Structure 1
Amino acid sequence: MAERLGVLRDPRDRRGRRHALVAVLLTACCAVLAGACSYLAIGQWARHAPQDTLARLGVRAAGPLGVRRAPSGSTIRRILTLVCPGGLADLLGCAPTGARTLAVDGKCARGSRTDAAPAAQLLSAVLTGGRTVSQLRVPDKTTEVTGFTRLLAPFDLAGVVVTADALHTLRDHARWLVEEKKAHFVLVVKRNQPTLHGRRETRSVRTLTVTDLGLDFPHVAQAAKIHRHRTDRKTGKITRETVYTITDLPARAASPQVIGELVRSQWGIEAVHHVRDTTFSEDASKIRTGHEPENMATLRSFAISTLRTAGHRGIVSGLREISYTPFTRPLNLIGLP
């Protein structure tokens, strides 16, 4: 991991650098993996880290006694304000190699809103199981649509089924996925594509082939009608919703059951966002300067991905287990020698 982070450009002036960029980023990664939700908490973790932990993080020894001094919270904050967010997200993400599905969805970091600027809108790509591939910040005064291809362009998606909500059900996105990335798509259809429904909207069958529908959308092979039934465990209230999806996968490759599984994988990205809000207090965070919102969100997603990869189904229980050995377990999980 240290080698991967080593390709990032250091945004600081060459003069006065006390700590290597990689050492600072590794410190932040391990602190968040140990449960730190703020710069104050990251700084406290670093300040209490023993010498052997600092050595593993790559913190330099200084002075005649060779004492290692951890980067301060202000140093960590300054670097996360300046370092390239796209590069950090790609380097800390999970490669989609061998993946079956990849879900794309956006999230608003509400606490980053200021009087002069809107809250940061973050677009993520997440694998089944909650492991994040990458993330980018959507430019202000634009929508997630503008970042779709930019988010996915660096990755080999041949054979991968990309799922997304109705905002990304666009002809250009479908053509780009199939023709340029050699990928497949399962996209939700809502009112932004009214011509796709037509009179077939009343049909009771779950899946229909394109020959039955004649949809005006590139590469579509099937359309599906999915009924959602939800029961609130606290109130017992039942809600029902009908969702329509389109896909380029033919019936022989995607049965109704398979399409249902693919759609559920898209809903799974919401679980990652929920964990970032509830466990890491992302919505309540007032981090808002420079690249801070997206870089801190990347660290939180990295922690979730690392815990998922380590076999922790519950992020809260995983963080609690790490808390028993906070200065060794995080470093072991990310493979630091």
Structure 2
Amino acid sequence: MMGAYLAEHDHTGPAPRAAIALDGKALSGSAHRTQRHRHLLSAVTHAPTITPRPAGGGGKTNETTAFRPLFQPLDLASTVATFDALRSVKDQVRWLVKERKAHYIAMIKGNQPAALPQLKALPWEQIPIAHTLSESGHGRRESRSVKTTAIAAN
């Protein structure tokens, strides 16, 4: 969804920014009687689609600690990084922006108790939809929309 949005909307001028997504997945078939599924955290470019740097991990909790080592060797200047709520940690986002000179699109959920109320208080009804995707799968129809707005840095 975010990759499609980034591909269709260039908010930066004549050349679109490179985009890279960070996500973790449980490895199918890796669980045994006494061992839980192993997790893999990967950085994947949106176009062309490549995985420049996967990082293995044990349990899901290791995904957060693999964030910096995964991004460290990559040139992220002016790149847009996308990631889910698990990696939306203030210290990691600050590191991406200040030290790696990247931009980001992050999911914010209940794991960010200060940011979530601030985002909910924005005037979302007044912000136009920038991108919509509707699809069917898993016995249901889902529609997702993206709205973008600027907020003041603090």
TM-score scaled by structure 1? Answer: 0.34
Unaligned runs of 5+ in 2: 1-16
Match of 1:181 among 59, 80, 100: 100
Flag the structure with more relative contact order, 1 or 2, with Cα contacts below 8 A and sequence separation at least 6: 1
Q: How does 1:34-113 map to 2 (within 5 A)?
A: 100-113=18-31
Q: Is the 8 A contact 1:229 1:238 kept in 2?
A: no
Alignment of 1:238 onto 2:141: yes
CA contact (8 A) 2:36 2:59 kept: yes
Aligned to 2:39: 121
Structure 1 residue 174 displacement after superposition: 1.1
Distance 1:247 1:104 in 2: 22
Distance 2:150 2:21 in 1: 14
The amino acid across from 1:230 in the alignment is: S
Q: For 1:172, what is the secondary structure of its paired residue?
A: helix
Q: Specify which structure has the higher proportion of helix.
A: 1
Distance 1:155 1:203, change over 3 A: closer
Query: Which residue of structure 1 aligns with residue 4 of structure 2?
Result: none
Counterparts of 2:73 and 2:150, CA distance in 1: 23
Question: Conserved in 1, the CA contact under 8 Å of 2:96 and 2:103?
Answer: yes
C-alpha contact (below 8 Å) 2:127/2:149 kept by paired residues: no
Q: CA deviation at 1:156?
A: 1.8
Deviation digits for residues 36-78 of structure 1 (CA, Å, limit 9, x no counterpart)? xxxxxxxxxxxxxxxxxxxxxxxxxxxxxxxxxxxxxxxxxxx
* Number of residue pairs aligned between Structure 1 and Structure 2: 135
Superimposed CA distance per residue, residues 131-171 of structure 1 (whole angstroms, 9 cap, x where no aligned partner):
11110112347331111101011122111111111111111
Query: Is contact 2:127-2:147 (8 Å) kept?
Result: no
1:191 Cα deviation (Å)? 2.0
> What TM-score do you get using the length of structure 2 for normalisation?
0.70
Gaps of 5+ in 1: 1-98, 208-224, 251-337
Q: Name whichever structure is richer in strand by fraction.
A: 2
Q: Does the residue aligned with 2:66 lie in a helix, a strand or coil?
A: helix
Q: CA deviation at 1:205?
A: 3.0
SS for the counterpart of 1:110 is coil
Q: Counterpart in 1 of 2:80?
A: 161
Percent of aligned positions that are identical: 32
Shift of 1:246: 8.1
Q: In structure 2, do the counterparts of structure 1 residues 228 and 139 end up closer, same or farther at CA, with 3 Å as the change threshold?
A: same
1:204 counterpart (114, 125, 129): 125
Preserved contact between residue 186 and residue 246 of structure 1 (Cα < 8 Å)? no
Residue in 2 that maps onto 1:273: none
Alignment match of 1:135 (pick from 51, 54, 57): 54
Q: Quick one: which of 103, 107, 114 aligns to 1:195?
A: 114
Change in 2 beyond 3 A, CA 1:170/1:143: same
Question: By how many angstroms is 1:202 displaced?
Answer: 5.9
d(CA) in 2 for partners of 1:103, 1:202: 27
Residues 283-294 of structure 1 correspond to what in structure 2 (within 5 A)? none
Two-structure CA RMSD over aligned residues (Å): 3.5
Structure 1 outlier segments of 4+, above 3 Å: 225-229, 240-248
Partner of 1:40: none
